[in-house]
Structures are given as structure tokens and as C-alpha cells.
Structure 1
Amino acid sequence: MWTVAATEPSSNPPSDDEAGGAVRSRVSYLGRADHDLGTKSALAIVTKVSPGLATLTTNLLVGRLGGAHLLGLTQTAISTAALTSLAYPGPAASAASRFVAASVAAGDPEKARVVASYLARRVVFAIVCLIGLVIGSSFLAGVDNTTVVVVSSVMTAGLSARIFVEGLHFGGGEGRRLAVGSLAVAAAGTAGSAILLLLGNRTPWVIVPVAVANVIFAVVTWPPRASGVLKRGERRAIRHFMIIAAFGTLASSGFVQLTTIVANASGGASFAGEYAAALTLTTPLAILATAISATLFPALSAMHAGSTADVVRHRVTEASSILTWLIATAVCTMIILAVPLVEFVWGSPYSNTWWILQFLLIGTLATTVAVPSVTALTSSSNKGMLISAGTSFFGALIGAITWLVLIPTAGERGVMIGCVVATVLTGLLPYVIVWRHYRMRWARSTIEVVGIVALSIGLGVLAREGLWNGFLAPVLALAVIVAWTVIRYRDVRRAWTVIGPRLKRKKT
């Protein structure tokens, strides 16, 4: 049986030499600060911001220099790789984060090394199988663009390897090394893509440097083979966890990636490029949500076993409140300024991007605010994982049904309506479940969020209709931000209680 016990920080953590290698160094870090989210959050945000910022920058370069058609092709390759990586490397990363963290918190670093080695061997085999799946399914589907197929395969290898290494680092606690490596990989990949574009390359090959940089980073930080062997019950627990995780992530994150493929199939590469342009603008918000989730997961895994329900409730409430204030502020601002924002970033050729962005922002808000709730479910037990996966599957199913009904008549708008229906349900259902289970006091907060978003959508539509000049829109956006901050002043205080003491300590 896997058990997790909260441990006190060690005053004399072992050095890298004493720990005996890369994995041992990772293990020692988590033992020092199991529940501390301050430094870990900062490092997690750096880690998640780096590849996200690299993707954002690369998409901007491709979209600006290569146009919407090329952006649609490259985003299709990236989405294909992301979708296939969710089948095994993604769940393996979650398993590494959970079970490595659990082993360290229980005072068993040797078990953590064995878990890391066990998962790493299987991820390598899975990557080979996934590449074969991409090539085989493309052949059966009659895809005639060989370049997209090859680039999708390369991206599958790079993305899958990096995702697993990130999960392992988060579970082991080696946040600083991971953050530095992520920055280096992001810089190298973006620079390589920029060079290819400047040399005149206008094919999907321009994103291959990003994949190559990810592979190199994964190889350098890959865990060494451990001599121990997991017991049958331990292997079974990991496999069950991964099956449920794959089920849930394919239904939630996989649906988002599938939207790009559906957009390409129903509206062509140019519409897929405009969708990718809107999705790129929401990338920073998604990065923040992913970073918070990666930070909360190992901490809540330990809390569920070593702490009371009140402690878990407090942590989830704290994270949800801060996220609600921050994400709603950004979403409402972007909704009001959608038209000038798209004009500034992408230019006039992306005429559909502004309304696509409106749909994506609503879904992003729902899924981001629900991140602490989803993490509370998935970190509690396999039953919690199953509940989260079931809600994701239900949301994806309703979204797919919406596609089947609306795309034949509504076309491109049907694609986006199905997307927002699925993403809102995927975030809303876990939010409601945790709300009821922990008896959260979220009624007022939920009403406030719905109200401020509805107001912002109304102002955004009026701005699009030209009812005021361009200078008034930023003023209205600023007024909404000020009003929202006043309404959520408690969340501002919560954020300061988390960040303020650490800033003062660092300054001292």
C-alpha cells in the first residue's frame, strides 16, 4: 500500500554527492519542503512559462511571417503530438509526480528512485509506439502531406519526453534545475525556429528545433536505472492511476487539442491558423493554471494522508480565491479589448480571431478557476481520479455531440460552441463536486465571476459594433479591473499573505 506522511523539513539536507546522482538530488529537495508552495510556485511558473512562452513566440513568428495557413499546419502537428502524448507520457508524468512525492514524504528515497526508473523505461517504449501510431493512422486516413506527418512524429517524441521529465522533477522537488533547463530549452528552440523562418523556410519543419531541444533536455535529465524492483501491488497501483489519468486527460486536454484538428478538417488550414492565433493569446493563462496544478498536486497528495480535511479545504480555498481574482481580471480585460488586441498582435488578415478568442476565454476561465478543485480530486485517491476523469469524459462527450449537431449548419461557429461547452463542463463539474464535498462558501464568489464576465462580454460586443471610439475601450477595461479588484479585495490580501513575506525575506 502507498502511504504518505507529512515530514518536517530537514535542517541538514544531503548534498548531491551524498545523494548519489541526479534522481537522489531530486529526492532530497522534496523532503526539505513538502508543503511549502511559495518557492515551488515560483519555480513551477518559470518551468511552465518557459515552454509556453516559446510556443507563443514561435506561433507569433510563424503566424506573422508565414501566414495563417502555415500556422494552421504547424499547430495541427503540435496538437497531434500533444494529443498522442496524453495517452501514456502525460499520465506517467502525473504518476511520477504523485508516487515519487509520496515516497519521499514517507521517508523512502530508494522507493522514489525505483518508481522513477520503472516509469522512465515504459515511457521510452510508449514514445516509440506513439510515433508508429501517428504514422500508421495518417497512412490509413489518407493524409497526403508527408511533411506534417513527419513533423508530428518528431514533435511527439520531444513533447512526450519533456512532459515526463517535468512530472518527475515536480515529484522529486528539483524545481530549480528544472526551471533553468526549461529556460535554456525554450531559448534554443525559439531561436532555431526563428533562424529557419528568416532563412525563408515556410514549411512545418520550422517547429522541429523546438522538438529537438526538448529531446536533448530530456536525455540530459533522464533518471538513471535503479536496481530495486517494485512489488506487484505497487505496480498495480501505478497502472490503475495511469489508466484513470489517461482517461481524464484525453477527455479534457485531449479535447482541446482535438479542436485544432476539427477546425482544420471543417474550416481548412486558414481557419485552423486563426484558431491557433486565438489559442496562442490564451497561452499565458493556461501556463499559470498548469503551474499551479503542478505545484499543488504533490503537496495535496501529502496533505490528504497527513493532514485533516480542514487543512486541505484551506489550501484549496486559498488557491481558488487567488486564481479567481487573477484569471478573471485577465480574461475580462482581454474580452473587452479583443478586437484591438488581435489587430495589434496578429494584424488585419486574422479577421475571425477576435470572436474565436471570446469563446476560448470563457472556457479558459472555467477550467483555470477549477484547477485547485480538479487537483484536490486527483491527488486524493484513485477514486478521486476516476471522478475527475468521468467529469472530463462527460464534458468531451457533450462537446462532441454539439459538434455533430452544429457544424453541418453553423460551420466554424459550431466548432467553437462545441469547444466552449466541453471546456466549461469539464471545469464546472469538479468545481461543484469539491464545493459540496468540502462545504465551501463559494456561492457569492461564483455569482461575482459570472456577473463580471457577462458585463465584459457586453462591453466587448458593443466595442466591436463601434458604439465608441478606440480610446474609450481601454478606459472601460481599466474601470472593470478596478471594480473587480475592489469586489475581490479579500483575494488581494490572500495573495499578499502568500507572496509578501517571501519578497521581504528575499530582500533581507
Structure 2
Amino acid sequence: MSRLRAALFPPPNHGSTDQSLGSSFGLTVVAILVQGLSRFGYSILVGRLMGKEALGEVNLVLSLAVFLVLLWPQASGTAAAKFVAMARGRQDPDEHLAAASFTARSAAVGAAVLGAAGAAFTAAVLGLSWGYAVSSGLLVLSLSAYNYTRGLRAGNNQFVTTALWDCISSFTTLSLLLLVLLAGWHWVLLLPLITGYTVFALPAWRRRSRARLAPGRRREILVFTAWGSAHLLAASGLLHLSVVIGRTYDSEEALGLYAAAVSLATPASMLSGAMMTALSPSVARMFAAGHTDELSRQVDAILRTMVTVFLPVFGVGILWAGPVLHVVYGPEWQAAEPLLVILFFAVSATSFNAANARLNGTESWGIKVLAASNGVGLAVGIATILVLGPELGIRASAVGYLVGSLLSALLPLLFVWRLDRLRWGGVLLRILAGYAMVLAGLALLGGEFRVLPALGVTAAFLSIWLLLCARDVRPLLGSLAARLGRARG
């Protein structure tokens, strides 16, 4: 019990070293997988038991809340992860505690303002019931606290703690959701999610510290948070805006189909999100300690690993999009298949994000490059939705998200490739070859899904991909074999 208590309620970590990136990544995968499955289960239960319109309303409020959190609180969590990790790299416990306290206050102020705005917007503009309006405001508050404390724990290198609290939070969320559905309390459908996020956040929230940050450091954190908000808004806001804008061009049923596609496509990005979460504090600590050569080698290795592992995951998802929809939601949701295919392509483009960690965690201007790159993607994506919306309806939202995602992913990668003189030409060619194989597979399979041809195309795709990635697969297998050997020993 004492070990469990220490894992659940650890003190601030002032150490200047981190656990291995592999361990951090594995624990983050567990944490994000559990939380992602909770959100996924939410969509399945609501969609199965209450239908397309209810799922559309729930995801509309959730998309609004996530979008508002991007405006400041989530970037406060990113700032906590960076500046706490940098204080650890400089071995400065006072700055460590002061940075955690200052970012907590920053996140709290932003959450309060945005929570009130969310409740008002839900009632006055979206025209939903008062239950949804109140839930919207509370969801902004709880989701803000969740994102901030997740960043703080990452900065402290407390990945075991994060995984444990994600499991507790997810269990709480789904248990309460079942009670709400069985009781028929449809007006509080979002309350279980709000409670789960709150349970995760409360034990880690930083209280006021006696240590004070220098005015220059406070200004640096606020500037970073502002630019980080612009970056996150541009990078992640497009998906949530596509839901809100798409509602103006199509029916509630079509919005429900799009919500189902979003719920299936976004969990596939959990692995890359886990890698980004595990990598970013390590990058910031190495940069603060002056280990720039090691930093470049790690960013290069991580990109190669992401491409090798994640592209085939999305490729298989694209080839089997129809059966996935049929199994998860049922045959009446089959019309969402084209939307899911487009979203899989879009989300896969954002998954090769090692360059983002390099820019986010090092020089102060790096976050500005990310914000500008993602701003271009956001503007072009929204313009695409607005132009194509009258003709394509909800499908324009998926196409706009795809176009914006491609730009947002490509520009930072090209910048870091040029900046650090990395050998990424072959990696980019491999990405293009992978996408070309997936498109060729879709063309061969045609409009009607058949199991045996799909199995053959999938096996051929994975075999060719393994040959293309043989140079990067061998080190991965060697590292895995070494870990297994140490575990047995």
C-alpha cells in the first residue's frame, strides 16, 4: 500500500535525469490508450443506445469544449511540461516549484473565463438545452485541469502516476455513464466525463509556492503559452471546428455519421501522441543541459520509428474502414465509411510529429514556427470547408481537415530537416510510397468489400512495407530483444 500511495501521490521530482524513453513511451501508451478507449466507449454507448442525433449533440458540445481549452489551458500544461523539465535539467528546485505554481494559476484563470464563454455559447448560439449549457462550462473547467496536470506530471517525469490516474479516471467515467444511461438521465450525459477528468486532475494540482519566478521567466512562460495556444489551436482546432462548421451544411444525422468517423479515426493517433508526450520533456531537459548532439540523434530516431510503426497502422485502418464501422456501430452506420477513410489519411499525416517536439521544447522561437505552420493549415482547411460545404455537405469537413492536416504536418518537418541537416530524404520518399500503396489497394478492392481480397491486399502492403523499412526495423527488433533478455534475467 505504501508503494501504491507513493506512485499515486508522488512529491515533485527534482532529479536531473529521466527514465528511459522506451519506458516513458510504454507508460504513456498505456495511459493514453486507457483514456482514449474511455472516450471511444463513450461514443459507442451513446451512439448504440441513443442514436445518431444524440451522438451528434454530445460530440458537438465536446468539440466546443476541446476547442476552447486549446485557447489557453492546454498550452499552460505544455508550458508546465517544458519549464518544469528545464528547471530539472538546470537542477534548480526553487524554479521548479515556482514554475509549477505559476502555470497552475495561469491555467485556472483561462479555464474560468473560457468555461463561462462555453456555457453561454452552447445556450445562445448552438441552441441546446440548459443541461448541455451547464455541462459545457463544467467540461471546459475539468478538461482544462486534466490537460494542465497531464503536462505537469510529464515535466516531472511521473509517467507511472499518469498511467495509474488515467486508469482510475477512465473506470470512473464509464461506470458513471452506465448509471446515467440506465437511469435515463439524458440531460447529464456529459457529467461522467466531467467527473473522470476532475478525478484525474485534483491530486496533481499545484498550490501556491513560496518560491518566486523572476519577472523575465514569468514573461517567457506567458509568451510561450500564448504562442503555444496559437500552435495548438491551429494544429488541433481544425478537427473540432470542422464538426461545428459542418453542422451548418448538413443534417443532424449526417453530423452523427461524421461524429462516428471522428471517434474511430482519432484513437488511431494515440500512439504518436504518446511518443510526443514522452519525448517533449526529454527534449527540453537535454536542451537545457546543453546536450544538443544527443537531442538531434534522438529526434531523428523517433521520426524513423514513427514512420515505420504508425503508417502501416493507419494503412490497415483505411483498407478495413468499412468492416470496422460495421462491427463497432452496426450496418446502419456504413454511410460513414468515406468520411472515415479521409479522416484516417488526415490523422496519419499529423502522426509523424518528432519535428514538433524539437521545435516545441528547445529555442524560444520554435513555438512560433509551429504556430505559423499550423496557422497556414488552419486557414486553408477552413477555407476548403467553406468553399466545398454547399456542394459536399459534411464530407467537406473531412476534406478540409485533410488539406489542413497535410500542411500543418509538412511545414515543421521541412523546417527541422533543413535546420538540423538531418538525412530525411529517404524517410519522406518512404512515406509517399506507403500512401501510394494504400491508394492502390483501395483501387484494387473497389466499392464492395470482400474479405479474401482485402486480406491479400493487406498482406501484400505489410510485406512490401517491411522490406522498405528493413534498415530501421532491425535496430527496433534488436532493442526489443535486448529488453526481453534483461526482463528474463
Q: How high is the TM-score relative to the length of structure 2?
A: 0.94
- Equivalences for 1:225-240 in 2 at 5 Å? 225-240=208-223
Amino acid at match of 2:13: V
What residue number does 1:375 align with?
357
Amino acid at match of 2:362: S
In structure 2, the residue corresponding to 1:323 is in which secondary structure?
A: helix
CA distance in 1 between partners of 2:434 and 2:302 (Å): 20
In structure 2, the residue corresponding to 1:352 is in which secondary structure?
A: helix
Matched, 1:337 2:323: no
Percent identity (aligned): 25
What residue number does 1:325 align with?
308
Once the two structures are superposed, residues 360-380 of structure 1 have per-residue CA deviations (whole angstroms, 9 ceiling, x without a partner) of: 1111111101x1011111111
Change (3 A) 1:268 1:158: farther
Amino acid at match of 1:343: H
* Structure 1 position 69, deviation (Å): 1.3
Amino acid at match of 1:80: L
* Structure 1 position 241, deviation (Å): 0.5
CA distance in 2 between partners of 1:278 and 1:82 (Å): 17
CA distance in 2 between partners of 1:327 and 1:175 (Å): 22
Ranges in structure 1 where 5+ consecutive residues have no aligned partner: 1-14
Once the two structures are superposed, residues 156-205 of structure 1 have per-residue CA deviations (whole angstroms, 9 ceiling, x without a partner) of: 1221111111000000112111211111111110121123223444x362
1:81 to 30, 46, 65: 65
* Structure 1 position 464, deviation (Å): 4.2
Ranges in structure 2 where 5+ consecutive residues have no aligned partner: none
Once the two structures are superposed, residues 430-472 of structure 1 have per-residue CA deviations (whole angstroms, 9 ceiling, x without a partner) of: 1111112222222222222222222212322443423x73322
Q: What do you get for the CA RMSD once the two structures are aligned?
A: 2.2
Once the two structures are superposed, residues 53-105 of structure 1 have per-residue CA deviations (whole angstroms, 9 ceiling, x without a partner) of: 11011111111222221111111111111111111211110010000011111
Aligned positions, number? 486
CA distance in 2 between partners of 1:424 and 1:144 (Å): 33
Once the two structures are superposed, residues 117-149 of structure 1 have per-residue CA deviations (whole angstroms, 9 ceiling, x without a partner) of: 112123222222111111233354262433322
CA distance in 1 between partners of 2:132 and 2:251 (Å): 15
Amino acid at match of 2:323: P
Change (3 A) 1:462 1:153: farther
CA distance in 2 between partners of 1:226 and 1:501 (Å): 43
Matched, 1:93 2:74: no
What residue number does 2:13 align with?
27
Is the contact between residue 89 and residue 289 of structure 2 (CA under 8 Å) also seen in structure 1? Answer: no
In structure 1, the residue corresponding to 2:434 is in which secondary structure?
A: helix
Change (3 A) 1:458 1:67: farther
In structure 1, the residue corresponding to 2:12 is in which secondary structure?
A: helix
CA distance in 1 between partners of 2:171 and 2:480 (Å): 28
Change (3 A) 1:269 1:147: farther
CA distance in 1 between partners of 2:4 and 2:343 (Å): 44
* Structure 1 position 309, deviation (Å): 4.3
- Equivalences for 1:112-151 in 2 at 5 Å? 112-141=96-125, 143-151=127-135
CA distance in 2 between partners of 1:180 and 1:313 (Å): 31
What residue number does 1:477 align with?
458
2:370 to 380, 385, 388: 388
In structure 1, the residue corresponding to 2:144 is in which secondary structure?
A: helix
* Structure 1 position 415, deviation (Å): 1.8
In structure 1, the residue corresponding to 2:362 is in which secondary structure?
A: coil
* Structure 1 position 288, deviation (Å): 1.2
Structure 1 stretch displaced more, 43-52 or 178-187: 43-52
CA distance in 1 between partners of 2:158 and 2:294 (Å): 25
Is the contact between residue 17 and residue 89 of structure 2 (CA under 8 Å) also seen in structure 1? Answer: no
Change (3 A) 1:140 1:276: closer
Matched, 1:288 2:271: yes
Matched, 1:361 2:348: no
CA distance in 1 between partners of 2:432 and 2:301 (Å): 20
Matched, 1:491 2:472: yes
Matched, 1:454 2:436: yes
In structure 1, the residue corresponding to 2:331 is in which secondary structure?
A: coil
2:427 to 421, 445, 449: 445
CA distance in 2 between partners of 1:142 and 1:358 (Å): 28
List, as ranges, runs of 4+ consecutive aligned residues in structure 1 with deviation greater than 6 Å: none
Structure 1 stretch displaced more, 205-214 or 143-152: 143-152
CA distance in 2 between partners of 1:236 and 1:117 (Å): 14
Change (3 A) 1:79 1:183: same
